[in-house]
């Protein structure tokens, strides 16, 4: 028994001695030196910063331009230029453009010729009861557009229907078979919430899949196939237009309304625009898009080819408003060209709020 107690005391003594020895060793180690003042480390680069403006305030960006992710105070425009033969003009320079805001000249800060960018497309199908007789036409028109415009492994689209409320029936994909299957399954019925659909689709276009590679730039497009009549939306037309402008989305509308539609030669022509067609024209005009008035799907084939070419033949312009006050009011934009005989199409204005919409959503 005495031997065992001695043994225990010996073990405890050794343990205590080791503990103090370890503590002493740590205590004798020099404390880490205080941090040496230095310039803060910059975060890992994700994309090059935009080039600083020259004293004149003018910067011309190369064709392959990195995404501008910090654009506070800048207004962005995507412009299409055509001659009187409706040929796309893609070789203009910054000096050929003049931008006016509420009639006052503005200094262009960034400029680029944006061609062959990946597309992110929202297809909006009106499945309300009012278009029941033209639903098959809508389906064919949507599929025809995708077949003419969507490029495999480059572009992506989502499909949204709207009657009583909007619903995404196929999320972003580049798979034409999935898009086709979703479109073909649709049935008509219910009211029409067009404004809500455009508002929600515009929100969805603010956070699309970003392409891989050095240049994450894309083009955002909404294709609305409807008669333009709205009787259920919670959002006003102006709110939906503003949402599309913030998303930097161009809206192309295909009217299903055959009233006042005449055939001149082999092409349909709208003799008089009223009701829902006026609504569609407001969406297209304010965003820089177009409205089509086909009688049958075959009337759209060349139009879709033109849209595809147009989306890959545009100019990017950004300017810093001379009036920096964020009043929330709508400001009119006008773009003029130095060269005669050309026409330019872009959005007609924007809402001057504190946070201007970025070229792409910040992560």
DSSP code string of 277-328: HHHHHHHHHHHT--EE--SSGGGGHHHHHHHHHHHTEEEEEEE--S------
User: Each residue of 240-278: pLDDT tens digit?
Assistant: 999 999 999 999 999 999 999 998 877 888 999 999 999
Q: What is the pLDDT of residue 9?
A: 43
Distance (Å, whole) CA 12 – CA 18:
10
Those residues whose C-beta lies under 8 Å from the C-beta of residue 150, and which sit 6 or more positions away, are 119, 121, 157, 174, 176, 179
Mean pLDDT for the stretch of residues 163-178 = 98
Q: What is the pLDDT of residue 234?
A: 97
Distance (Å, whole) CA 332 – CA 217:
26
What is the number of alpha carbons within 13 Å of residue 115 lying toward its C-beta? 11
| Least confident window among 23-37, 154-168, 176-190 | 23-37
Distance (Å, whole) CA 255 – CA 238:
20
Q: What is the pLDDT of residue 217?
A: 86
Biggest CA-to-CA distance, the chain: 121
Mean pLDDT for the stretch of residues 285-307 = 91
pLDDT at 1 over 70: no
**Residues 269, 271, 142: CA angle, nearest 5 degrees:** 45
Q: What is the SS3 assignment for 342? A: strand
User: Each residue of 220-234: pLDDT tens digit?
Assistant: 999 999 999 999 999
pLDDT at 83 over 70: yes
Mean pLDDT for the stretch of residues 166-171 = 98
pLDDT band per the 50, 70, 90 thresholds, residue 216: confident
User: Each residue of 2-59: pLDDT tens digit?
Assistant: 444 444 444 444 444 444 344 344 433 444 444 433 333 334 444 444 443 333 344 3
pLDDT band per the 50, 70, 90 thresholds, residue 355: low
Q: What is the pLDDT of residue 354?
A: 62
User: 115 pairs with which residues across the strands?
Assistant: 313
H/E element holding 114?
strand 108-115
- Contact predicate 265/229, CB 8 Å: no
- Contact predicate 182/139, CB 8 Å: no
What is the number of alpha carbons within 13 Å of residue 185 lying toward its C-beta? 11
Q: What is the pLDDT of residue 37?
A: 38
Distance (Å, whole) CA 52 – CA 40:
21
pLDDT at 107 over 90: yes
**Structural domains for the chain:** 54-113+313-363 (no CATH), 119-311 (3.40.50.410)
Q: What is the DSSP string of 273-288?
A: --THHHHHHHHHHHHT
Instruction: Tell me how crowded residue 216 is: count the other CB atoms within 10 A of its CB.
Output: 17
pLDDT at 283 over 60: yes
Rg (CA), the chain: 30
Mean pLDDT for the stretch of residues 170-183 = 98
Instruction: Tell me how crowded residue 328 is: count the other CB atoms within 10 A of its CB.
Output: 9
Q: What is the pLDDT of residue 305?
A: 87
| Cα distances (Å, whole numbers) of residue 163 to 130, 231, 276, 363 | 9, 10, 15, 33
b/e per residue, 161-186, with b = 16+ CB within 10 A? Answer: bbbbebeebbebbbeeeebbebbeeb
Distance (Å, whole) CA 255 – CA 138:
9
Mean pLDDT for the stretch of residues 339-357 = 83
pLDDT band per the 50, 70, 90 thresholds, residue 302: confident
Average pLDDT, the chain: 82
| Percent above pLDDT 70 for the chain | 77
The dihedral through the CA atoms of 23, 27, 28, 29 has a sign that is positive
Distance (Å, whole) CA 73 – CA 356:
6
């Amino acid at each position: 028994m005495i031997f065992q107690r001695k043994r225990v005391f010996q073990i405890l003594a050794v343990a205590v001695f080791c503990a103090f020895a370890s503590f002493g060793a740590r205590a004798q180690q020099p404390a880490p030196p205080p941090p040496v003042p230095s310039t803060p480390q910059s975060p890992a680069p994700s994309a090059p910063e935009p080039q600083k403006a020259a004293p004149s305030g003018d910067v011309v960006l190369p064709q392959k331009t990195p995404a501008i992710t910090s654009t506070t105070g800048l207004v962005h425009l995507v412009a299409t230029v055509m001659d009187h033969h409706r040929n796309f003009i893609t070789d203009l320079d910054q000096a050929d453009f003049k931008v006016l805001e509420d009639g006052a000249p503005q200094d262009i800060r960034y400029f680029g010729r944006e061609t062959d960018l990946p597309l992110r497309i929202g297809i909006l199908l009106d499945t309300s009861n009012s278009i029941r007789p033209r639903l098959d036409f809508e389906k064919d028109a949507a599929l025809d557009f995708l077949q003419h415009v969507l490029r495999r492994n480059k572009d992506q689209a989502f499909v949204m229907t709207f009657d009583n409320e909007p619903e995404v029936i196929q999320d972003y994909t580049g798979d034409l078979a999935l898009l086709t299957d979703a479109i073909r399954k649709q049935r008509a019925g219910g009211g029409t919430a067009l404004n809500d659909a455009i508002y929600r689709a515009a929100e969805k276009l603010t956070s699309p899949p970003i392409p891989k590679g050095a240049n994450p730039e894309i083009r955002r497009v909404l294709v609305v196939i409807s008669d333009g009549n709205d009787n259920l939306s919670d959002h006003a037309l102006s709110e939906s237009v503003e949402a599309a402008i913030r998303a930097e989305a161009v809206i192309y509308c295909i009217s299903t309304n055959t009233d006042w539609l005449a055939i001149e030669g082999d092409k349909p022509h709208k003799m008089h625009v009223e009701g829902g067609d006026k609504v569609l024209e407001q969406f297209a005009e304010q965003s820089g898009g177009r409205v089509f008035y086909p009688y049958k799907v075959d009337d759209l084939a060349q139009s879709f080819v033109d849209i595809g070419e147009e989306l890959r033949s545009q100019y990017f312009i950004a300017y810093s408003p001379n009036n920096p006050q964020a009043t929330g009011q709508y400001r009119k934009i006008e773009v003029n060209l130095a060269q005669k005989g050309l026409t330019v199409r872009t959005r007609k204005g924007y809402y001057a709020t504190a946070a201007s919409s970025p070229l792409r959503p910040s992560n």
